[in-house]
């Protein structure tokens, strides 16, 4: 069946992984009533690959809010926001998100993926243009494809290349949606949003920023890279997720444009899917309140842990991301990545094993994500695990030009 031939590379990777006796792809993680401890393949581990940046998945207040909501409102909405799925909690969360960002308008989606898919595919149409960073998340690419707009990529974080592509469009740059991320999820590097915003505005294009991995992590009030880089009031649309810092599931878009409320009726990923369950919405609202009131304390702890691990891994000679962040990624060839992942698991440390197309080129990633909930002792164990990997497989040769 020639239809399946294109998956041969994936089979090669799976065969390589299977040679180690345990398939880590989709490994079952049993969480032990803690955001940082669990069991993988029967081994007790420190969880260092969860994106649980602020450690709120087991926060007592978030759990209590979720339990109360499910007891009062049931297990699900059984309908879309446009039919019977808009509850009081959805509306309150939208108001609270708009107030958190200091912007006038917000929409809550069932998942972060749907937030990107829905917003991008609605904002740009077949006669228009989308320019996105080459390292953008799959949901951004999928939204662009679904829009029918003509799509262009610019080199990752290369503002000059973005400028060149907008210049080529001439007057039609005003019919263009530019999409970037604040913090990129695979290597943990940051977008130069100030420069990107300046270029986009100069050409009259519209700018959307995905803050999935930076909301709650940076900025004076935890509002992400848009706040940290001083462009909160200039970006047109900000998209994010509840599944990272807020510790549950869901997505959102906030904007200074009144048009966002009108778009609600046109976003297929919003109109034609069931809305988020009451328990999830209640948990997200409580987590957002925690970010408001305990954010600085949690961010300080998170960044302290992140810098310790990044500095230690870099000092071992591994090929890491370009700057410290709560995502610490090591780039290796596929064989070395699998061997290193297994060595870390044996040492009691669980990180993400990432292969193409999520990883760059034809290489693999050991992707560690730190949490404010990691204790000093757990951070020590993570560092000891990478030291063991260094002794077994050696520092990864540099795989990027």
pLDDT surpassing 50 at residue 381:
yes
Question: Given a cut of 70, is residue 11 above it in pLDDT?
Answer: no
Residue 398 above 50 pLDDT?
no
Q: What is the pLDDT of residue 224?
A: 97
Task: Supply the Cα-derived Rg of the chain in whole angstroms.
Answer: 21
What confidence tens digit (pLDDT) does each residue in 84-100 have?
999 999 999 999 999 99
Three-class SS state of 307: helix
Active site residues: 185, 213, 244
Determine contact, residues 197/228, Cβ cutoff 8 Å. Answer: no
d(CA 39, CA 43): 5
Q: Quick one: average pLDDT of 355-377?
A: 88
Task: Pull the structure tokens for residue 115.
Answer: 């937030």
Average pLDDT of the chain? 92
pLDDT at residue 299, rounded to an integer: 97
Q: DSSP assignment of 69-132, as one string?
A: HHHHH-S---SBTTTT---HHHHHHHHHHHHHHT-SEEEEESSHHHHHHHHHHHHS-TTSEEEE
Q: What is the pTM of this model?
A: 0.92
Parse the chain into domains and list their residue ranges: 12-57+295-393, 77-276
Region 343-359: mean pLDDT is 87
Each residue's pLDDT tens digit, 200-244: 999 999 999 999 999 999 999 999 999 999 999 999 999 999 999
Summarised one tens digit per residue, pLDDT across range 151-161 is: 999 999 999 99
Which of 108-117, 172-181, 230-239, 355-364 is predicted least confidently?
Answer: 355-364
Give the tens place of pLDDT for each residue, 59-81: 999 999 999 999 999 999 999 99
Q: Does residue 5 have a pLDDT over 90?
A: no
Asked if pLDDT for residue 271 goes beyond 90, the answer is yes
CATH number of 77-276: 3.40.640.10
pLDDT tens-digit map of 298-335: 999 999 999 999 999 999 999 998 899 999 999 988 88
Reported as a pLDDT band with limits 50, 70 and 90, residue 26 is low
pLDDT at position 279, please? Answer: 98
Give pLDDT, residue 358. Answer: 73
Query: Which tokens in the block code for residue 355?
Result: 């292969």
Helices (H), 188-258: 193-202, 225-228
CATH 3.40.50.960 fits 12-57+295-393, yes or no: no
């Amino acid at each position: 069946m020639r239809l399946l031939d294109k998956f041969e590379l994936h089979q090669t990777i799976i065969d390589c992984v299977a040679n180690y006796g345990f398939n880590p792809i989709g490994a079952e993680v049993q969480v032990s009533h803690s955001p940082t401890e669990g069991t993988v393949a029967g081994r007790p581990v420190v969880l260092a690959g969860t994106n649980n940046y602020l450690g709120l998945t087991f926060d007592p207040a978030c759990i209590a809010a979720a339990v109360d909501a499910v007891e009062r409102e049931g297990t699900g909405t059984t309908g879309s926001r446009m039919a019977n799925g808009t509850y009081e909690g959805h509306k309150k969360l939208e108001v609270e998100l708009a107030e958190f960002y200091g912007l006038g308008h917000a929409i809550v989606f069932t998942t972060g993926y749907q937030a990107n898919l829905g917003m991008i595919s609605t904002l740009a149409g077949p006669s228009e243009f989308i320019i996105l960073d080459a390292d953008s998340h799959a949901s951004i690419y999928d939204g662009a494809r679904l829009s029918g707009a003509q799509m262009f990529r610019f080199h990752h974080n290369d503002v000059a290349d973005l400028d060149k592509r907008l210049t080529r469009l001439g007057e039609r740059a005003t019919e263009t949606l530019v999409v970037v991320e604040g913090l990129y999820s695979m290597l943990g590097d940051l977008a130069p949003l100030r420069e990107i915003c300046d270029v986009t505005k100069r050409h009259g294009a519209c700018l959307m920023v995905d803050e999935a991995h930076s909301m709650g992590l940076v900025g004076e009030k935890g509002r992400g890279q848009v706040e940290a880089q001083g462009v909160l009031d200039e970006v047109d649309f900000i998209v994010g997720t509840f599944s990272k810092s807020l510790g549950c599931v869901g997505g959102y878009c906030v904007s200074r444009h009144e048009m966002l409320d009108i778009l609600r009726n046109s976003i297929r990923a919003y109109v034609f899917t069931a809305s988020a369950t009451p328990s999830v919405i209640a948990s997200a609202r409580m987590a957002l309140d925690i970010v408001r009131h305990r954010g600085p304390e949690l961010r300080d702890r998170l960044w302290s842990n992140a810098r310790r691990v990044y500095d230690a891994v870099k000092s071992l000679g591994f090929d890491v991301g370009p700057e410290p962040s709560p995502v610490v990624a090591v780039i290796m060839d596929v064989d070395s990545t699998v061997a290193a992942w297994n060595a870390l698991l044996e040492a009691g440390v669980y990180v993400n094993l990432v292969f193409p197309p999520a990883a760059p080129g034809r290489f693999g990633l050991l992707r560690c994500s730190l949490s404010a909930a990691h204790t000093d002792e757990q951070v020590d164990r993570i560092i000891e695990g990478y030291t063991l990997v260094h002794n077994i497989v050696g520092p990864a040769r540099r795989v990027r030009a």
